[in-house]
Structure 1
Amino acid sequence: MKFKKHIFAATAIITAIVLAGCGSNKQGSASKGTSYQSELVKKGSLTIGLEGTFAPYSYRDNGKLTGFEVELGNDIAKKIGVKPVFVPTKWDSLIAGLGSGRYDVILNNINKTPQRAKVYAFANPYIYSRYVLISRHDEKGFQTVNDIKGKKLVEGTGTDNFNVATKYGATVVPNGDFPTALGLIRQGRVDATINSREAFLAYAKSNPTSDLKYVDLSKTLTPTAVQPMLNKQAPQLLAKVNTAIQELRQDGTLTKLSEKYFGSDITKAN
């Protein structure tokens, strides 16, 4: 009897080890196949960071948040199968908010830079923004981007426009609010600003701009690829967003949104 008890005990131990090993394998397998849902700030929702003050990308119309990137965010969330939640945030805190986990993705006319790419992941581009140099209508000294050397430009800190302005020798006054920047130009407190052509044309639809003009810088500066920005710790979500943008491009949704908000198709590099 004692011998049989020892056999039973040994068998039980071996069975327990095998079962534990199976459980470990399942856990490892589940870890490898982690759903993108576990990467979301809030399960079932795609939390989107944007400014909400930069027409036509994202802005408020009669108090309601709207714009190209708002509709794009809705469409991406629908493709993924989750609810969109928008978190309007000032530019100065926008990227930091992604890093601290306030939202899953930034849709805010943002582009990939070497510095950002070290920390964050970028999905496929959805539009290509053209640079323009905006100044007072009576300003005759601006013909190319090289003419900004030694001039005073107003740009949002950390933006690609800021980087271009400093690269070409301008003195930069930091301010990321577009209407305020144009006001500084009108008042003569700065000479100009580099920004997107699309933002200026959208502004001109509902605001007088006869005292302002712009020079297209496309011959010197390559149009910027505008991309969703995500955390590197969310590879499954990145893949989902990439697929969604690809499908929205293929089914014509991106083009329709671009024509609606920008008056032309700017979803292609050329």
Structure 2
Amino acid sequence: MRLLPGLLLLLPLMSSLAHAEMFDDVFDRGELRIALEADTPPFNFKKDDKLTGFEVELGELLAREMDLRASFITTDDTDLLPGVESGKYDVAINHIAVTPELRDRFDFSEPYSYSKAHLIAPKQEKPLLARLGALTSSQFASRTQATEGVDLRSQVEPKTLGKKDKTLTLAIPFQKGNPAFKSSLDKALQRIKADGRLAALSQKWFDTDMSRPAKP
């Protein structure tokens, strides 16, 4: 099939508009739709029927920096990433570890947190915890039926558990092909890193700064 010269000239513009669609939709709406599971303290959970946790406060900070309202949607691991992929949610902030497989499906923000693989231990339960010291035996627990890409518990293979130098990178996934949205999200994240708010938030919830890779 041959394309008319006029159509050829329009193709770059059409591509640019396609990339801008998510950015325009989010800012026209004035709301950032954030999906999370709300059952993994201290990352995100409910206390007295109110959402709280490190990633809830992070989402609120990022939305405010982007001049948006934060709208949190509680879902489960069967819907979380498919919902982001389909556009049902704008982003997921649910301690998701970046992997090559997920990079094939999503674009990601800059990292907002890091964790050593030795903090992860296989266990079927997901008990509550209050501080980083409890992570070794509880928080990053593997599920009985792991779902691809949902969070650290389902992203770390058993063979990595013994590698203490393995660092897992946590970032925010969103639909591929949205550079304007990525730029806005990354700039918001950079600002809360630069002025120390992200480090303070990490200290509040984990008693340590997990916003930077740990030194060897």
**TM-score, normalising length: structure 2:** 0.73
- Aligned with 2:191 (options 218, 236, 247): 247
Partner in structure 2 of residue 49 of structure 1: 35
SS at match of 2:177: coil
Residues of 2 paired with 1:41 and 1:102: CA distance? 15
SS at match of 1:133: coil
Residues of 1 paired with 2:195 and 2:22: CA distance? 24
Say if 1:52 and 1:162 are closer, same or farther in 2 by CA, change over 3 A.
closer
Partner in structure 1 of residue 75 of structure 2: 89
RMSD after superposition: 3.1
CA shift, 1:100, in A, is 1.6
8 Å contact from structure 2 (residues 33, 89) kept in 1 = yes
| Cα deviation digits, residues 198-254 of structure 1 (max 9, x gap) | xxxxxxxxxxxxxxxxxxx5x535121110111113221111110111111001010
**Counterpart of 2:54 in structure 1: which amino acid?**
F
Residues of 2 paired with 1:231 and 1:156: CA distance? 23
Number of residue pairs matched? 183
Once the two structures are superposed, the pairs formed by residues 184-199 of structure 1 within 5 Å of their partners are: none
Partner in structure 1 of residue 147 of structure 2: 157
SS at match of 1:230: strand
**TM-score, normalising length: structure 1:** 0.60
Once the two structures are superposed, the pairs formed by residues 81-120 of structure 1 within 5 Å of their partners are: 81-120=67-106
SS at match of 2:110: coil
Once the two structures are superposed, the pairs formed by residues 119-268 of structure 1 within 5 Å of their partners are: 119-130=105-116, 131-133=119-121, 154=144, 156-159=146-149, 160-167=152-159, 217=162, 219-268=163-212
8 Å contact from structure 2 (residues 84, 175) kept in 1 = yes
**Counterpart of 1:56 in structure 2: which amino acid?**
P
Partner in structure 2 of residue 79 of structure 1: 65
8 Å contact from structure 1 (residues 155, 161) kept in 2 = no
Residues of 2 paired with 1:90 and 1:243: CA distance? 29
Residues of 2 paired with 1:119 and 1:32: CA distance? 17
8 Å contact from structure 2 (residues 42, 205) kept in 1 = yes
Residues of 2 paired with 1:243 and 1:117: CA distance? 20
Residues of 1 paired with 2:21 and 2:83: CA distance? 23
Q: Gaps (5+ residues) in structure 2?
A: 1-5, 124-141
Percent same amino acid at aligned positions?
A: 29
CA shift, 1:129, in A, is 1.9
Residues of 1 paired with 2:20 and 2:156: CA distance? 40
